[in-house]
Structure 1
Amino acid sequence: MDILKVLLSLFLPFLFVYAKNDCSESYCAKNKFPIRFPFYLENQQPQNCGYPGFNLKCNSHGYTVLNLPFSGEFLVQTIRYSNPEIKLLDADNCLARRLMNLNLSSSPFEPYVIVNYTIISCPSEYPLTFRSHVVDCLSNDTTDLLAFYDGSDYEKYMPGCNVTARNFSIASDDLKYSDMFGLSLTWSVPNCTACEAKYELCGFDNYSTSKEIRCFARPKSGSSEGQPIAKVIALSVAIPAITLLLLLIFGISLRIYCNKRREASS
């Protein structure tokens, strides 16, 4: 039992160091932007490294992805922390279709912009005057789908077409070119803008029981917090293992010594 206590006292500090380093900035192989609080990499970092709902993943191709509960998985193009924004793309290059069914409930995000559209459906053989409004990935060989800002009355110039939706709120100010500009979402909780303004990191206060957010100084260049996690893991395993080996050698040596003394006295 005493040996176990000694081992734990030696091992726990290294576990703490590992956990601390494990919350440092992370990256997916194909993306250059850093992943840090409130975001964290699911299955690679502990949940306390990020805020609930901000879990990201690296997909099999090395790209960062975000899964929205009722809208599915999106590629992450970039993340801004000082002015909170995450920009998303569709892996199939038809973000417009995803935007028309976007549901952000049960997620911590909200649209950066909301624009109301009128959606008009026209037969593909119809001589369109407003072809620049055709959303290509929503159209097919028989039907063209056009998107106009609400308040326009273009449909009266297209008698052979049908209005399929009016006052249709979409989180994009340019539905036709949404694949180029992406879907911009923002968040208000947690609010880390004050930390970012001071060039500090944001995270949970380890000493608070109510999961309060606080600012932390960035690790200095060359400090132990910037070392690779693999090195920390190696140390956390190697040092207790060496300690255990030394204790075993000491125990065996002590037993041999005691046996020799017992034999000599008899």
Structure 2
Amino acid sequence: MNLFFFLKPLSSLMILSYIILFFLLVRNTSCDVDPNYVACPPKTCANNNQSISYPFYIEGTQEPFCGNPGFAISCGPNGFPILNLSNTHYIIHQIFYENQTLRVSNAAFSVSRSNTTNSKGCLPVPLTHNLTLPSTPEFDIAPNQSNMRLFYGCESLLPWPEEHRVGCSNETSSVLAFYKEDKNISLVSKNCRGEVVDTIVEDGIIEGGVEEALRKGLLLTWKAGNCSDCHSSGGRCGFDSIMYTFRCFCTDRVHSAKCDPDNGPG
């Protein structure tokens, strides 16, 4: 028998065996990746590049265990992430994961110029409750924020310098805003007939005046398990709602703090 004809089927069989073995290895590898890890990659809202990951999660897009309880967010119609605090919507402008801080603003102030028939479009009504945020189990107001006061029904003081007029509560009722240390605040409080609303804004906003300060909002710090060790070890952070504790989702399995497959649970 010719040796060539004997070796040819044998070599073809070996090649086929290698191909089958390769696909089996790929299949087993992909199947072995922990499903919690697969479920929790960072996401973004449409038309927005802010990465959303632990402790936050987007309702309806990410699994709740990818974030902490109390950190659910939604995506607004303009693409911005929205955080609901004390039944009030706050736009998330920036999340600083490295120091567990985020900058938010009341959604009402994001539309202060949206009314094209009025250069100072009207604020939604009613804004008759304080906009200062109480401490919650999840969030605190960061240090070095400024107190601001909004006065409604200030027609008797018009025309006041334009930089203090932030809108109107309806077609006729003007709203003026002042930092609490402003020397004019006593005069304004005596002459504006509407509600007085307190709020907080980030320090150091000078360009654009009080309206820009309201639009940019304030800084919050959050209280949740620190993700840095898990993230630096290649894991994705999450939460065990049964044990009610932080977990690190790794490609091999769930660890307590970080991915460390060579030394048992992290």
Displacement of 1:31: 1.4
Which structure would you say has the larger Rg? 1
| Residue in 2 that maps onto 1:101 | 131
Q: Given the superposition, is the C-alpha separation of residues 128 and 216 from structure 1 closer, same or farther in structure 2, using an over 3 Å criterion?
A: farther
TM-score normalised over the length of structure 2 = 0.56
Match of 2:93 among 72, 77, 98: 77
The answer as to whether partners of 1:26 and 1:34 remain within 8 angstroms in 2 is yes
**1:211 partnered with 2:245:** yes
* One-letter amino acid matched to 1:25: P
SS in 2 for 1:36: coil
Match of 1:26 in 2: 43
* Residues 61-103 of structure 1, C-alpha deviations (whole Å, 9 max, x = no match): 65433222x2333333332201222233527614895994354
- 1:151 aligns with 181
Q: Secondary structure at the match of 1:82?
A: helix
Give the TM-score taking structure 1 as reference length.
Answer: 0.56
Out of 184, 190, 193, the position equivalent to 2:225 is: 190
CA distance in 2: counterparts of 1:180 and 1:158, whole angstroms: 22
Paired AA for residue 179 in structure 2: Y
Q: CA RMSD in A?
A: 4.3
Structure whose residues are more often helix by fraction: 1
Secondary structure of 2:224's partner? Answer: coil
Kindly indicate whether residue 150 of structure 2 is the aligned counterpart of residue 132 of structure 1: no
Out of 65, 84, 96, the position equivalent to 1:48 is 65
Residue type of the partner of 1:211? T
Structure 1 gap ranges (5+):
1-9, 218-266
Contact 1:117 1:148 in 2 (8 A): yes
Paired amino acid for 2:53: R
Deviation at 1:60, TM superposition (A): 6.0
**Identity across aligned pairs (percent)?**
23
Letter of the 2:97 counterpart? Y
User: What is the total number of aligned residue pairs between the two structures?
Assistant: 203
